[in-house]
Amino acid sequence: MNAAALLAEMRRRIVAHARPDLQTSIPRLLLSRVETQETDYSMTDPLLVVMAQGGKRLLLGEQVFEYGEGQVLVVTTGLPVTGHFLGATPQTPALGMGLVLRPATIAELLLEVPAHRWSRTAGPAITTGAAAPDLLDAVARLLRLLDHPADARVLAPLVEREILWRLLTGPHGAIVRQIGLADSSTSHVSRAIRWIRDNYAEPMRIEDLARMAGMSAAAFHRHFRAVTTMSPLQFQKRIRLQEARSLLLAKPDDVAGVGHLVGYDSPSQFSREYRRLFGAPPGQDAARLRAAAPHLP
């Protein structure tokens, strides 16, 4: 089956099985149907995305990543990103599948990859590009199993491994391998990323993060920026502001309190940086979000 036919099949199955929460009956398989072009702010996890229809533009720091129909997005660690779907409407929704990438499975498969076929090249933790036909074929077969739950229990893990193998031995292998390498710079930086995500409201010292990553402060700063395209301070600020936006949906009248909860001692600094990221002051932005979500009390 050629790429066009595989993408057409993927579109049919995504339309049939996509749910608002993205989850499916197959563990780690996510399906997305989006009908708007609204900007979203989110935290990623290690993930493969294959677009079957439409496209998306992501902003990580100052770097832009764009992927469309028949292309993939690969993310190797948790990152705060800004994005919007391109041209998505109710008539022509953006359709995509996602597969959560597990470091343990990738590490196991790495043992089977001939040494001459991989390297430990570091780079940004996001990459995009064309999906190879054999990868699309494996993805289409995984989606078919949604219609056969009894078969999926046995076959889905096998097809998942095939998809990971196609990634590891394909053009995106260098970045995917970083997920499974315990001694890679991405793995080391990910320890610090997890700490920042879990403790975003706390004061942060570069020396402590560098020690956590097993690097000198200078090497840590260099590798952190290579992986995330941001400095640790910019990364922490982005997480604080995205968390504040979520909290403001529940507490729209307590802007100063929300700012303090996410680590800002100065209400004016909080409002200034919030507006710079989201385009409106905290209270005004929260009111707009609540108006767009009528299910909120």
Q: What is the pLDDT of residue 250?
A: 80
Same domain, yes or no: 256 and 269: yes
Can you give the CATH number for the domain in which 248 is found?
Answer: 1.10.10.60
Q: What is the pLDDT of residue 154?
A: 97
Query: What percent of the chain stands above pLDDT 90?
Result: 64
State the Rg of the chain over Cα: 20
Name the pTM for this structure: 0.82
Final residue belonging to a domain, choices 146, 165, 180: 180
Final residue belonging to a domain, choices 180, 197, 213: 180
Same domain, yes or no: 139 and 65: yes
Same domain, yes or no: 189 and 161: no
Same domain, yes or no: 51 and 83: yes
Residue-wise pLDDT for 201-256, tens only, equals 999 999 999 999 899 999 999 989 888 889 999 999 999 999 999 898 888 788 99
Can you give the CATH number for the domain in which 36 is found?
Answer: 2.60.120.280
Same domain, yes or no: 130 and 71: yes
Using a 10 angstrom Cβ sphere, with 0-12 exposed, 13-18 middle and 19 or more buried, the burial of residue 74 is buried
Q: How many structural domains comprise the chain?
A: 3
**Is 256 within a domain?**
yes
Which residue segment(s) compose the domain that 145 sits in? 3-180
Split at pLDDT 50, 70, 90, the class of 175 is confident
Same domain, yes or no: 123 and 23: yes
Three-class secondary structure of residue 248 per DSSP: helix
Same domain, yes or no: 238 and 97: no
Same domain, yes or no: 123 and 32: yes
Split at pLDDT 50, 70, 90, the class of 72 is very high
**Is 57 within a domain?**
yes
**Is 287 within a domain?**
yes
Same domain, yes or no: 49 and 138: yes
Same domain, yes or no: 256 and 126: no
Lowest mean pLDDT among 55-59, 115-119, 174-178, 205-209: 115-119
Can you tell me the mean pLDDT for 161-187?
A: 85
Residue-wise pLDDT for 125-142, tens only, equals 899 999 999 999 999 999
Q: What is the pLDDT of residue 215?
A: 92
Same domain, yes or no: 76 and 21: yes
DSSP-assigned states of every residue in 82-136: EEEEES--SSS-EEEEEEEPPHHHHHHHHTTS-GGG-------SEEEEEPPHHHH
Q: Which helix (H) or strand (E) holds 195?
A: helix 185-198
Closest listed residue to residue 196, CA positions, set 158, 159, 237, 162: 237
Same domain, yes or no: 126 and 17: yes
**Is 296 within a domain?**
no
* pLDDT of residue 182 exceeding 80: no
Residue-wise pLDDT for 36-47, tens only, equals 998 888 888 899
Residue-wise pLDDT for 78-99, tens only, equals 888 899 999 999 999 999 999 9
